[in-house]
Structure 1
């Protein structure tokens, strides 16, 4: 047990592990075949540890790891945990000329590790340290729908979620011809019935005219939201689309930082931040507050083992996404029963890494020295 009150300790050491994992068959709508992780471990003066991470679906983590080694990790050694909230902004100011890409990914990994360490020191699950709003959260099935599936396979995957107690599933569009995609969604709707919730994700693959053609047809199929119909760098296109007959628009997995959401407050009422990319737990909480102020809802992207805490502690949060991105590197995945999940009651975020598998796929390690 820590010998000092929670939040009073100092960070003594910081470590980094760069991991590259081939995914084999493409997963989800992005078609990713490779996962890269930068995993940060912080150890305080009492020997307590916290872990955080950021990731890329493809190449790029070597650049993030280099920034962590050069700036972020040396900067936090010796830092009192209670000073991190100020240090978060100092890191942004020190790297602001790099933009919000690699620099924010690096900050995200450190931030998650800090919050994990804070919760470990407090001997509380992360969601309770953040202020639990609920004890369990609804989960929608997202990992059994790819463009490579036939319509029959897509229906079977969706039905398997329903049979396991889920009430909602997400499908992908944007690779097949638009009429074919609509037919695939219609087949799932017919198989699942009117009571099931269906979301549709285009992964930013459509242009505005195609999205305008698809949107009313998806609305007629009672789709709960139309996710990333067009690239998020085109907020005006979202505003145009939102003005027509469409399901609610969802956006966020490619938005980095709080300010990126302000362009969507009137067009996309469903926000999908990814804590390891958008600024960590700290920035996720600010995004949740902004969503609450604007009447939007928050349902994070991927990573249920971490995000379950943020959904349980959020005010604007709704759904948790089930997607098996990290399963090959975890010793335990998040249990889902009857379409609902509860955060683990272990101190911290409670993620259990499979250290043998991590070691087998580690490309590089780094450790600061006191």
Structure 2
């Protein structure tokens, strides 16, 4: 079998929301389509991929390095031993040919985009949902029937006061979510505390609210927030400081006893290993948010899961960033602790299948071959257009 065509397009997000560090008004993402010569139901199998929000489209890297390597590879270099399907691990090695260790940067995003498309194609060729395929290959056939998801929102927006923030959170709870998340660090601490208390008035329980600083704080600010947040008992306190500042994260644990979360901006197994080795993360309560679409894809993510297990961490402590269907499949197929969700945000990339509502904080996956993009109409319409 062969890969006959690979196309990439940069698609704008166009949103006026912001977190403590960036606004998304000029943010875009790369969408990739990988076409094969395999025919199913009278059509060529096409795998689709895209990168998660928060990183710009790595179009140059994809077009100049990674897509050419994929197209130039021989059939034996990209297919399994039987030549009947693509081999994501062989393809990962092809993509990384000539790449030095370290210096991950945006190349981890570019590889992650292609990796998503490859896994989508692999599952479609086997005519199985990706979560089922993963469970059969790596988890003795047992996939979770539903996945815990939380609603990520609470962004800063022009003219958005506490009443609007409360209404946003009510909408999420009414939609079936049991846990919501909001941004902090974009205004002074005292104002953020008022925002937090306004949301707790809506959730009725501080344990149903997570907060996310998006790496905004230095150590003193992170500790000040930790001390102010400690009495509430929030669901978690996320990414207080720079994601590579393991010393800050380690020190913060001395001031904050409740769950913390970080990892969405770490892009390799080695980075993940450094976090749990030097960041003071606690496997009994803290959460790891590595996002395969930003960190060299599922191939690398499975290396990370193996590393975590070897170091005494359960896969249930992983709740990926990104709010997309790829991570949802990984969560169900490999037994993660849940997945982020962006209801109504970062469309059409955020959110899950159209006819699968969130119920009591959990969502089911469609029995659609591949990642399931075809069950999300507005996203699938966009993905199909990349080959036109």
Shorter-normalised TM range:
0.7 to 0.9
Report matched runs for 1:347-362 at 5 Å: 347-352=369-374, 354=379, 357=382
User: How far does the alpha carbon of each residue in 1:296-336 deviate from its partner, in whole angstroms, 9 at most, with x for none?
Assistant: 51111123322210111223x21221114542369974533
Once residues 189 and 206 of structure 2 are traced to their aligned partners in structure 1, the CA distance between those partners, rounded to angstroms, is: 25
Matched, 1:137 2:151: no
- SS of 1:17 mapped into structure 2: strand
Once residues 105 and 356 of structure 1 are traced to their aligned partners in structure 2, the CA distance between those partners, rounded to angstroms, is: 23
**Any conservation in 1 of the 2:324–2:349 contact (CA below 8 Å)?**
no
Matched, 1:272 2:282: no
Q: Which residue of 2 aligns with 1:11?
A: 2
Q: Which residue of 2 aligns with 1:7?
A: none
Matched, 1:34 2:26: yes
User: Mean alpha-carbon deviation: is it higher for 141-150 or for 271-280?
Assistant: 141-150
**Any conservation in 1 of the 2:323–2:350 contact (CA below 8 Å)?**
no
**Any conservation in 2 of the 1:20–1:34 contact (CA below 8 Å)?**
no
Matched, 1:286 2:303: yes
Once residues 170 and 337 of structure 1 are traced to their aligned partners in structure 2, the CA distance between those partners, rounded to angstroms, is: 16
- SS of 2:214 mapped into structure 1: coil
Once residues 301 and 112 of structure 1 are traced to their aligned partners in structure 2, the CA distance between those partners, rounded to angstroms, is: 15
Q: Which residue of 2 aligns with 1:204?
A: 215
In structure 2, relative to structure 1, the CA distance for the partners of 1:196 and 1:300 (3 Å cut) is same
Q: Which segments of 5 or more consecutive residues in structure 2 lack a partner in the other structure?
A: 39-43, 81-86, 136-141
User: How far does the alpha carbon of each residue in 1:332-368 deviate from its partner, in whole angstroms, 9 at most, with x for none?
Assistant: 74533323211221000011365665688x7xx89xx
Matched, 1:120 2:112: no
Q: State the TM-score, normalizing by the size of structure 1.
A: 0.85
Once residues 55 and 14 of structure 1 are traced to their aligned partners in structure 2, the CA distance between those partners, rounded to angstroms, is: 23
Q: Which residue of 1 aligns with 2:331?
A: 311
Matched, 1:67 2:67: no
Among 338, 356, 363, the residue aligned to 1:341: 363
**Any conservation in 1 of the 2:239–2:261 contact (CA below 8 Å)?**
yes
User: Mean alpha-carbon deviation: is it higher for 77-86 or for 174-183?
Assistant: 77-86
**Any conservation in 1 of the 2:207–2:235 contact (CA below 8 Å)?**
no
In structure 2, relative to structure 1, the CA distance for the partners of 1:73 and 1:38 (3 Å cut) is farther
Once residues 312 and 253 of structure 1 are traced to their aligned partners in structure 2, the CA distance between those partners, rounded to angstroms, is: 19
In structure 2, relative to structure 1, the CA distance for the partners of 1:158 and 1:11 (3 Å cut) is same
- SS of 1:189 mapped into structure 2: helix
Q: Which residue of 1 aligns with 2:178?
A: 167
The aligned length equals 353
Q: How much has 1:259 moved relative to structure 2?
A: 0.8
User: How far does the alpha carbon of each residue in 1:251-304 deviate from its partner, in whole angstroms, 9 at most, with x for none?
Assistant: 111111111111221523311112211011222222233334432511111233
Among 253, 258, 265, the residue aligned to 2:264: 253
Among 236, 241, 248, the residue aligned to 1:225: 236
In structure 2, relative to structure 1, the CA distance for the partners of 1:143 and 1:191 (3 Å cut) is closer
- SS of 1:155 mapped into structure 2: helix
Once residues 91 and 127 of structure 2 are traced to their aligned partners in structure 1, the CA distance between those partners, rounded to angstroms, is: 23
Once residues 172 and 226 of structure 2 are traced to their aligned partners in structure 1, the CA distance between those partners, rounded to angstroms, is: 25
Once residues 33 and 267 of structure 1 are traced to their aligned partners in structure 2, the CA distance between those partners, rounded to angstroms, is: 35
User: Mean alpha-carbon deviation: is it higher for 272-281 or for 169-178?
Assistant: 272-281
- SS of 2:29 mapped into structure 1: strand
Higher strand share: 1
Among 50, 60, 73, the residue aligned to 2:47: 50
- SS of 2:25 mapped into structure 1: strand
Once residues 195 and 178 of structure 1 are traced to their aligned partners in structure 2, the CA distance between those partners, rounded to angstroms, is: 17
Once residues 366 and 73 of structure 2 are traced to their aligned partners in structure 1, the CA distance between those partners, rounded to angstroms, is: 28
In structure 2, relative to structure 1, the CA distance for the partners of 1:14 and 1:259 (3 Å cut) is farther
Report matched runs for 1:170-185 at 5 Å: 170-185=181-196
RMSD between superposed Cα atoms in Å: 2.8
Once residues 212 and 70 of structure 2 are traced to their aligned partners in structure 1, the CA distance between those partners, rounded to angstroms, is: 36
Q: How much has 1:97 moved relative to structure 2?
A: 6.2
Matched, 1:295 2:306: no
- SS of 2:186 mapped into structure 1: coil
Q: How much has 1:81 moved relative to structure 2?
A: 2.7
Matched, 1:152 2:163: yes
Q: Which segments of 5 or more consecutive residues in structure 1 lack a partner in the other structure?
A: 1-9
